[in-house]
Amino acid sequence: MKPDGFILGLSTGTACIATCAPILIPYLLGEGKGILGNYGTLGRFLLGRLFGYLLFAVLAWTVGSAILQEPVRRSLIIGMAYILFSGLLIVYGFFKKAGASCKGDCDQVRFRRLSAIRPSWLPVAAGFATALSFCPPFLLAFTGAADQAGLAMSLLFFFSFFLGTSLWLILVPFIGAFRRFAVLQTVGKMAAGSMGIYYLYTGSLLLTGGLKLW
Amino acid sequence: MVKKDRAGIMPATQQPGIGKTLLLCLPMILITAIMLSQGQLPSDPSRVTAFLAAFIFINAIFFLMIRTGETDRWRAILFVTYAVCFVISFITHLIESRGSMAISQANMIEGLTPFCHIVIPMTLVPAALTKTIIFPGTIVGTKTAIASMFVLWIGSSLALGRGFCSWFCFFGGLDEGFSRLFKKARIKKIDLRWTYLPYAVLLLIVLVSAVSLAPFYCQWLCPFKTVTEYPEITSVKTALQAVIFISLFIALVMVLPALTKRRMQCGLFCPMGAFQSFTNKINVFEIRIDPGKCIQCKQCIATCPTFSMTEDTLAEGKTGMTCVKCGKCIDACRQNAISYHIKGTPLTGGKEEIYRRLFIYPAFIFLATMSGGYVQDAIAKTIKLFTTGNIF
C-alpha cells in the first residue's frame, strides 16, 4: 500500500462521508434493507468508486509517462501541480463554507433522479459518478499517481486513496451515528486542509529541487 | 436568590468564617505538606525556603478559593505560576543534564525524551496495532516516563474530564497567562467554525502517526517545543521544524491569546484538548446553567476562554463538550446562575457550593501535585541565581 495515498484518503474521508452519506442514506432507507443488505448496496457503490479511481490512475500514469520523462521537468511540473492543488486543498479546507463541497448538491440531485429508477446496478453507477468529482483531494491524488514510477504504482496509489476514503464509508449503514453531517464535513475539510499544508511542503521541496535551489 | 456583588464575589454573609475555612482547608494542608516534602524536609536552606514558599502559596490559593467562593480567579494564579515554573525548572534541568535544550538523535535512541501527555492520542492506534509505543522515551522508571504519564492522565481524566486542561496541563497556563495580559480583548469576533480545527488536527495527527509510526505532532506542530526541548538543528528539515514551532508559539500561545483574551492554543488548535473533550462525556462533573436565574446577559459567552459557551449551549442550559471546567463563567455570572454540578442530580436544591467543593478538592489535588515540585524547584533555582549568580 502507498502510505501517502492512504493518509490523503483517510484525512479527507470524513468530508467524503458527509457528502456521500446524504446521497447513499436516502437510497439505503428507500431500499428498506437491514444492515447486511445495506452493506451489499454499499459494496456495489464502493465497487463503482474503485473502478472510477482506477481509471483515473491509468490516466494519471499516461499523463506522467507521456510528458514527464525528463527528471528536472518532472520535478518542476509535479512540484508546481502539488503547490497549486495543495493551495486549492487549503482554501477548500479552511476557507470554503460547509455545503459547497466537491461532491455536493449536483451529485445529490443527479442521484435523486437516478434513484427513481432504482435498478440493482445503480449504486455502482453512483459510486463511479462520485469518483469523478474533481475536488482538491482528488486532484492531489491524481498528481501523486502521475508522479509514480509505473502503472502498477499509480494504480496502487489510487487504490490506497480509495481505501483511505472508503474506511469511513463502512460506517454509513449504521445511519443513526451520523446525524451531524455538517460538523463531520467541517472537521474532515479542515483535516484535508491541514494535509494540504503537508503537500505544499512536498511540492515546495520538489520545485526547489527541480530549480536546484538547495 | 443569592447574587454576587459588583466585583463578582460572594457577599460576606454567604462566605464561610475563617475557622470553618481553615477546617475545610485542613485536608489540603496535610496532603500538600506530605507531597511537597516527600516525607522529609530538605537540608539545603534554599530548598527549605522554596518548600515553605510553595507550601504557603499553594495553600493560600486554596484557602481563598474556599473562603471567597471564587474558583477561576485563584486557580488561574496557581495555574499560570505552575506553567512558568515548569518552563524554568524544565529548561534549567535540560541544560544541567545535557548542556542544551536541543535533543540529539543519540539522546532519542537512548530513550531520554521526557513523555508529554499531548503524545497520548498519537500512541493509541500504533500501540493497539503493533504493541509499540511510538515515542523515544522510557516506559517506566522516571516521573516523565510513558507509564507514569498514562497513569496520571487516566486518573485525571476520570476525575476531571476535560478539566484536565485547566487543572493539570503544564502548558495550558502559558496560554492562559498571555490571555490575561490586557484588560480588554482587541479581537472580539471569532468565527466559531475554527473551534472544529482541534478535531481536524487530532484526526490528522492520529492518522499520520499511525501510518508513519512516528509522533507527527511532536515532529512538526508542537508550539511548546519552543519552551521545552526541540530536535537538534542539523538540516534544513530540522531548521524548518524549529521555525514552525516558534511561529506557532508566538501566534497561538502569545499574540492571539493576548489579543482575544481566549486560550487560543487550547481552544482552537490543541489535539489533546479535542481528545480530552470526549472524556467530559464520562466524567461526573459538569457546568450547568439554571434557566430560572439566567437573565441572558451572555457574560459567560464573552468570558469563556475555550469557546465552550455559545448561545446554543446557553439555551440547552449547559456548556459544550469542550468545557475545561476552569470556573471562569461561574465567577463571571453575577446572578449565580452557573454552577458546578453532578450529572444526574437535580439542578435546583441549593447544593451548588457542595458540588463545587466536591469538584475542586480532586481538581486542586491534581493541580497542587503537578505544580508543587516545579514551583519549589523554580523558587530554589531563582534563590540560587540571586545569591550565587548561577542558576545551576
3-state secondary structure string, B110-177? CCCCCCCHHHHHHHHHHHHHHCCCCCCCCCCCCCCCHHHHHHHHHHHHHHHHHHHHHHCCCCHHHHHH
Residue B374 CA to residue B90 CA, distance in Å, equals: 8
Residue A104 pLDDT greater than 60, yes or no:
no
The contacts of residue B149 (CB under 8 Å, 6+ apart) are B115, B116, B117, B120
**Inter-chain residue contact A183 with B196, CB threshold 8 Å:** yes
Length of chain B: 392
Give the pLDDT score at A102. Answer: 45
Contact residues, B window 28-87, toward A, CB-based 8 Å cutoff: none
Residue B335 CA to residue B266 CA, distance in Å, equals: 28
**Inter-chain residue contact A191 with B211, CB threshold 8 Å:** no
Check: CB of residue B268 under 8 Å from CB of residue B198. Answer: yes
Residue A101 CA to residue A189 CA, distance in Å, equals: 9
| Residue ranges of chain B whose pLDDT lies below 50 | none
Chain A residues touching B203 at Cβ < 8 A: 11, 14, 187-188, 191
Most B CBs within 10 Å, among A180, A185, A187, A205, to test the B interface:
A187
User: DSSP assignment, residue A143?
Assistant: H
Query: Highest mean pLDDT range out of A1-5, A37-41, B260-264?
Result: B260-264
Give the pLDDT score at B12. Answer: 65
**Inter-chain residue contact B196 with A7, CB threshold 8 Å:** no
The contacts of residue A211 (CB under 8 Å, 6+ apart) are A76
Task: Give the helix/strand (H/E) hosting B56.
Answer: helix B45-68
Check: CB of residue B23 under 8 Å from CB of residue B66. Answer: no
CA dihedral A13, A15, A20, A21 (to 10 degrees): 100
Residue B391 CA to residue A1 CA, distance in Å, equals: 53
pLDDT tens digits for range B78-100: 999 999 999 999 999 989 888 88
Check: CB of residue B375 under 8 Å from CB of residue B88. Answer: no
pLDDT tens digits for range A78-102: 788 888 888 887 887 888 665 544 4
Chain A residues touching B209 at Cβ < 8 A: none
Report the chain A residue with the minimal C-alpha distance to residue B206: A11
Give the pLDDT score at A214. Answer: 44
Give the pLDDT score at A3. Answer: 77
CB-side neighbour CA atoms (13 Å) of B298: 7
Sole residue written with cell 458540588: B355
Average pLDDT over residues A143-147: 84
Sole residue written with cell 515548569: B86
Report the chain A residue with the minimal C-alpha distance to residue B216: A198
**Inter-chain residue contact A7 with B193, CB threshold 8 Å:** no
Nearest 5°: the CA angle B337, B342, B348 is: 40
Please name which of A114, A142, A132, A155 lies closest in space to residue A24, comparing C-alpha atoms: A114
Long-range contacts of B123-128 (CB under 8 A, 24+ apart): B123/B209, B123/B215, B124/B206, B125/B206, B125/B209, B125/B210, B126/B209, B126/B210, B126/B213
Give the pLDDT score at A109. Answer: 57
Give the pLDDT score at A18. Answer: 62
| Predicted TM-score (pTM) above 0.80 | yes
Q: How confident is the model at residue A106 (pLDDT cuts 50, 70, 90)?
A: low
User: DSSP assignment, residue B250?
Assistant: I
Residue pairs spanning A and B at CB distance below 8 A: 42
Most A CBs within 10 Å, among B203, B238, B275, to test the A interface:
B203
Chain A residues touching B200 at Cβ < 8 A: 93, 187-191, 193-194
Chain B residues touching A201 at Cβ < 8 A: 240
What residue ranges define each of the domains in chain B, with the CATH number in brackets? Answer: 15-81+352-392 (no CATH), 101-282 (no CATH), 284-348 (3.30.70.20)
Distance of CA A170 to the CA centre of its chain: 15
**Inter-chain residue contact B204 with A11, CB threshold 8 Å:** yes
Give the pLDDT score at A107. Answer: 55
Instruction: Please give the grid coordinates belonging to residue B240.
Output: 524548518
User: DSSP assignment, residue B13?
Assistant: G
**Inter-chain residue contact B196 with A187, CB threshold 8 Å:** yes
B196 touches chain A (CB under 8 A): yes
Give the pLDDT score at A198. Answer: 80
Facing residue for A186 by CB, picked from B193, B204, B212: B193
Residue B362 CA to residue B139 CA, distance in Å, equals: 26
